[in-house]
Amino acid sequence: MDIGIVGLPNSGKTTIFNALTRSNTETAAYSSGQLEVHTAIVNVPDERVDALSAMFKPRRTIYATVTYNDIAGLGRDAAKTGISGPLLNAIAANDALLLVVRAFEDESVPHPDNSVNPARDLANMEAEFILNDMSIIEKRLERLAGAKHRGSTDERKQMAEEEVLLNRLMSELETETPLRQVTISDDERRALGGFGLLSLKPLLRVINAGDDEEEAQYAELLDDNTFFLRGRLEAEIAQMPPAEAAEFLADFGIAEAGLNRAIRFSYKMLGLQSFFTVGEDEVRAWTIKHNTLAPTAAGVIHSDLQKGFIRAETIAYADLMAAGSMAEARKLGKLRLEGKEYVVEDGDILNIRFNI
């Protein structure tokens, strides 16, 4: 899972990047205008992986991972001047976006609009995404208008279908509706894959506040896809040893580290869950979407497992923990053989039976 961190210049994007990845990346106080992308891969915190590793004592323990990409600041007038190709490509390459909006005061780091107003910035950045998408679709419709009567019958049919889709999406954008809120089929999403439509990306928002600010101050902005973070404070805590970090989090009344919160919000937003494979060689977490069938989950491990899928020997994490060992769970009849129509549940432990 790749998440691109975006926002206005001087919104504290890199500070949030450091807080979420335990990095120590530095940038100038003033944006250079150059495209910069900092990348870090972090483990998804999961106590279940720790418990399974303690039970099986494998040679390797592998957590699910998230890749965070800290991307150069978006100018406030990006929709007027256009987002440059490299910048648009850097943003579009991500599975989701994490939009950082500034809520902290710092006279040494001026806000592009000369005042701090996170509600305004949230609205303005969403408007920039929408205007960017309108520009992209408008240009594509112009090209289709000149080409849709040429080519083979199948090509003309495909262009006609694309034109209908793009006109429908343009109508939604004209009402200031981001495309992530529009019903779009899987086939249509695939057709739009190379367009770089920013408002189509799942969007997680972070209110980047100062050290002494309280979450309640921004209650009207918080929802299932928006959360509060004291970015600079959490970036400093992220550099500390775990025991010391836990003490500081408690002192500042932070119930959960920013990394954990961001990943939890991201998993919920993207409809993701984890299943596990276990053994003496390796305990590993794998990431899939909700409602994934067993053969598709097997394919996440290796394509051969999906092609030759026969059955999945399955046990729920809670049942294995209650039994105390796989052997005892088997005696208790907690292991099940599931077929191709089985929908994998969060926390399932799978052993794939296959034949190629």
Alpha carbons 241 and 306: distance in angstroms, whole number:
41
pLDDT attached to residue 29: 44
Confidence of residue 255 (pLDDT cuts 50, 70, 90): confident
Provide the pLDDT for residue 30. Answer: 43
Mean pLDDT of 261-283: 92
Query: Angle at CA 293, nearest 5°, toward 325 and 287?
Result: 65
% residues pLDDT > 90 (the chain): 62
- Assigned domain for 350 exists: yes
Which pLDDT score, from 0 to 100, does residue 148 have?
72
Quote the pLDDT of residue 27.
59
The answer to whether 261 and 66 are in contact (CB under 8 A) is no
Q: Is residue 191 part of a domain?
A: no
Closest CA to 34 of 75, 2, 1, 94: 75
Residue 281: inside a domain: no
pLDDT per residue as tens digits for the range 125-180: 999 999 999 999 999 999 998 887 787 888 888 888 999 999 999 999 999 999 99
Range of the domain at 314: 291-354
Q: What is the four-CA torsion angle of 233, 235, 238, 239, rounded to 10 degrees?
A: -100
With the CA atoms of 106, 110, 114 and 117 taken in that order, what torsion angle do they form, in degrees rounded to the nearest 10?
-50
pLDDT digits (tens, 9 = 90+) for 26-79: 754 444 455 778 899 999 989 999 999 999 999 999 999 999 999 877 765 554
* Res 182: pLDDT: 96
Task: Answer yes or no: is 344 within a domain.
Answer: yes
Comparing C-alpha atoms, which of 101, 106, 112 is closest to residue 212? 106
Mean pLDDT computed over every residue of the chain: 90
**Whole-structure pTM value:** 0.85
pLDDT at position 121, please? 93
The verdict on residue 37 lying in a domain is: no
Both tokens of 62, joined, read: 């592998």
The alpha carbon dihedral of 142, 147, 153, 154 has a sign of: negative
Which of left, alpha, beta for 118 (phi over 0: left; psi -120 to 50: alpha)? alpha
Whole-number pLDDT of residue 253: 82
CB within 8 A of 85, min separation 6: which ones? none
The confidence score (pLDDT) of residue 318 equals: 97
pLDDT for residue 119 is more than 80: yes
Strands 96-102 and 272-277: unpaired
Complete DSSP assignment for 233-293: HHHHHHTS-HHHHHHHHHHTT-SS-HHHHHHHHHHHHHTEEEEEE-SSSEEEEEEEETT-B
Q: What are phi and psi of 108, to 5 degrees?
A: -80, -15
What's the structural domain count of the chain?
A: 1
DSSP 222: -
pLDDT over threshold 60, residue 1: yes
| Tens digits of residue pLDDT in 302-342 | 999 999 999 999 999 999 999 999 999 999 999 999 999 99
* Any domain includes 184: no
Asked if 315 and 335 count as a contact pair (C-beta separation under 8 A), the reply is: yes
Pairing of strands 309-316, 348-354: antiparallel
In a domain, 345, yes or no: yes
- The whole-angstrom separation of Cα 34 and Cα 346 is 42
Q: Residue 4: in which H helix or E strand, if any?
A: strand 2-7
Percent of the chain at pLDDT > 70 equals 94
Please report, for the domain that includes residue 310, its CATH number: 3.10.20.30
- 306 within domain boundaries: yes
Tell me: the pLDDT tens digits for 168-223?
A: 999 999 999 999 999 999 999 999 988 889 999 999 999 999 988 889 999 999 99
